[in-house]
Amino acid sequence: MMGRLAAAALVASVALAAPGARAAVVQTAADAGAAHGRVLVMPFDNVAREGRIFWMSEASAVLLTDDLRALGVDAIPRDERRGALEHLQVSQVTMLTDATIIRIGQVLGAATVIVGSLELDGDALAIRARSIALDTGRILANVTESTPIAQVFAAFERLARKLSPPSEVTTDAILRQNPPLPAFEDYVKGLVAETPATAVSYLRAALALHPAFDRARLALWEVYTDLAQHRQALAAVQAIDAGSAVHREAAFRAGLSQIWLELYDDAFATYSALAAENPAATVMNNLGVVQARRGGGREAGTPAYFFTKAADADPADPDYFFNLGYAYWLARDMPSAVYWLREAVRRQPGDGEAHYVLGAAIAAGGGSPGESIREKELARRLSSTFEEWDKRPAGDPVPSRLERLELAIEAPPRTAVLAEQRNQSNLVQFYLERGRRLFDLENDRDALVELNRALFLSPYQAEAQLLLGRIRLRSGQVDEAIDAFKISIWSAETSAAHVALGEAYLEAADPAAARREAERALAMSPESDDAKRLLDRAVP
């Protein structure tokens, strides 16, 4: 399998790397440190499907990832790997093809993937691993270990050193992080168990063997949370001492359980303590959710205050901007709600909830009816859920408790989202170019089809809105044209858009507004002949 993976990675790299990439070449183990960036460790293949070591497939990925991280390598944690599998809708219990493994690595932003195999001969476990650069398909290291199962921790520590740059971290320091092997075996069996009851049984067995095994408590929290047994989940993580290496993660999860149990005062205290240590964006976001749901006032901080702190700390996360806009919606501050919800859909155009709440806020704030209708229509195209929202009372058009929680104290890198956004951006440009050509040919009907496709993917694409406005103006739909030009200017202010808006104001018999647009266009582009002509025509 590993040889095929290297070949497949090389084929994939032809489209991704510079022309002329060489065929995969096996390097010495010392060259393993040549690769930089994130490292994805996949569960090793149990070649003979040996029942005694079925748990070692997942254990190999967990152990090797832990050891690499201890040695300073940016190895991708298990939760992120699982998240990528869910994102790609890939089963975690099936054998993965080489192409799927490569795709998982790309989604996670990995530079290197490590794959391997396990074979049992009596009591001896043969472990083989290959480290492969995803961009070129080059095999960076091809290493093996043979060990009695009882000494598997030491074997994976040696493997990790062969697969990583030299480190001053001692072997003893790495091995000390491991629990007794029987407890670790039960822990892994709990991670891969097919039923929640089996998972709980194995995780509790691991804790019975090693009560200080706090990672098993975190795993137990996940199982209970999936079952909506939030009191049991809370008890699992509250048993983790303040001195534990995972105490901060445990406290964060305790806060989540308290929110789901509607113990809002407790949750506020939990997250306030975490914020005092380190006001991470995830913590500030969840404080905002607590305040929104318990009706917290200014004395402890409004929801918008905390969501603003989260958005300031991580301005790339659209959920923080949605929460901020939604908080202002709840506060009936419609101008602020509209502003921040637009920021949310600018960052995540496919966010149906943001589009719908934005449409409701525009309508409630006395904004353009056409824009409000358009935003809600975008939401309905994204999901049939919003057809049910349409049936809500006119005075209460948006459901409660839409605030978005962070589920982990360290938000994973947004590599999957960024990859999707890049692909979407390319598609938007494709539709935009076709719409531009059809507009120039005055084929407005077909141009509208292409522009609407672009705007479905990116509602605030400035040039698409500008072309849409020009088509509306050309067909006599002056009010709709003005709305489109305003959105274009809000998305990316240009002299041309101000001139177009001024022309629309002239058509609407508002020369004073047209003159303002002409003056703004000239301030941006003093040599613009179009702006000068508009100014001459815009006589009050």
Residue 257 structure tokens: 């359980």
| 194, part of any domain | yes
Dmax over Cα atoms in the chain, in whole Å? 95
533 and 386 inside one domain:
no
Task: Tell me phi and psi for residue 441, to 5 degrees.
Answer: -85, 0
Give pLDDT, residue 417: 55
CA 16 from centroid of its chain's CA atoms: 22
CATH, residue 303: 1.25.40.10
Task: Tell me phi and psi for residue 344, to 5 degrees.
Answer: -65, -50
| 7, part of any domain | yes
Pairing of strands 139-148, 45-46: unpaired
**DSSP classification of residue 171:** H
- What is the spatial distance between Cα 326 and Cα 340, in angstroms, rounded to a whole number? 8
46 and 169 inside one domain:
yes
Q: What DSSP string runs through 230-286?
A: HHHHHHHHHTS-TTSTTHHHHHHHHHHHHHHTT-HHHHHHHHHHHHHH---HHHHHH
The single residue listed with the structure tokens 């748990």 is: 55
Residue 76 structure tokens: 């991708």
| 269, part of any domain | no
**Domain end: 386, 412, 438, which one?**
412
- What is the spatial distance between Cα 176 and Cα 349, in angstroms, rounded to a whole number? 47
17 and 157 inside one domain:
yes
Is 403 in contact with 288 (CB distance < 8 Å)?
Answer: yes
396 and 341 inside one domain:
yes
Quick one: angle between helices 334-347 and 352-364, nearest 10? 160
Angstrom CA distances, 382 to 351, 385, 403, stand at: 8, 9, 19
- What is the spatial distance between Cα 481 and Cα 465, in angstroms, rounded to a whole number? 9
Give pLDDT, residue 207: 97
Query: Residue 360 corresponds to which amino acid?
Result: A
CA 89 from centroid of its chain's CA atoms: 15
Pairing of strands 110-121, 139-148: unpaired
296 and 399 inside one domain:
yes
154 and 185 inside one domain:
no
Convert 475-516 into a string of H (helix), E (strand) and C (coil). CCCHHHHHHHHHHHHHHCCCHHHHHHHHHHHHHCCCHHHHHH
Convert 389-417 into a string of H (helix), E (strand) and C (coil). HCCCCCCCCCCCCCCCCCCCCCCCCCHHH
Angstrom CA distances, 440 to 433, 460, 467, 498, stand at: 11, 21, 10, 20
Angstrom CA distances, 498 to 413, 487, 503, 512, 515, stand at: 38, 11, 9, 14, 10
For CA atoms 285, 261, 206, 127, the dihedral sign is negative
Give pLDDT, residue 82: 87
- What is the spatial distance between Cα 382 and Cα 356, in angstroms, rounded to a whole number? 10
Residue 218 structure tokens: 């975190």
336 and 244 inside one domain:
no
Residues 281, 283, 284, CA angle at the centre, nearest 5°? Answer: 65
171 and 60 inside one domain:
yes
502 and 423 inside one domain:
yes
Q: What DSSP string runs through 299-326?
A: TT--HHHHHHHHHHH-TT-HHHHHHHHH
76 and 224 inside one domain:
no
Spatial CA neighbour of 238 closest among 259, 253, 216, 223? 253
**Domain end: 261, 289, 310, which one?**
261
Report how many domains make up the chain.
4
Give pLDDT, residue 356: 96
49 and 171 inside one domain:
yes
| 237, part of any domain | yes
Give pLDDT, residue 20: 32
CATH, residue 81: 3.40.50.10070
- In our burial notation (b when 16+ CB lie closer than 10 A, e otherwise), range 458-467 reads bbbbbbbbbb
Give pLDDT, residue 94: 59
| 272, part of any domain | no
**Domain end: 178, 202, 221, which one?**
178
| 530, part of any domain | yes
Strand pairing partners for 110?
38
- What is the spatial distance between Cα 10 and Cα 17, in angstroms, rounded to a whole number? 9
| 66, part of any domain | yes
Give pLDDT, residue 14: 31
Domain that holds residue 310: 279-412
**DSSP classification of residue 56:** H
Pairing of strands 38-41, 110-121: parallel
| 457, part of any domain | yes
Convert 321-366 into a string of H (helix), E (strand) and C (coil). HHHHHHHHHHCCCHHHHHHHHHHHHHHCCCCHHHHHHHHHHHHHCC
29 and 152 inside one domain:
yes
* pLDDT (tens place) for every residue of the chain, 540 residues total: 434 344 333 333 333 333 333 233 333 333 444 445 899 999 999 998 999 999 999 999 999 999 999 999 999 999 888 888 887 777 665 567 777 888 888 888 899 999 999 999 888 999 999 999 988 888 899 999 999 999 999 999 999 999 999 999 999 999 999 999 999 999 999 999 999 999 999 999 999 999 999 999 999 999 999 999 999 999 999 999 999 999 999 999 999 999 999 999 999 999 999 999 999 999 999 999 999 999 877 778 999 999 999 999 999 999 999 999 999 999 999 999 999 999 999 888 889 999 999 999 999 999 888 889 888 988 887 788 999 999 999 889 999 999 999 999 987 665 555 555 666 777 888 889 999 999 999 999 999 999 988 887 788 789 999 999 999 999 999 999 998 998 889 888 899 999 999 999 999 999 999 999 999 999 999 999 999 999 999 876
Is 292 in contact with 303 (CB distance < 8 Å)?
Answer: yes
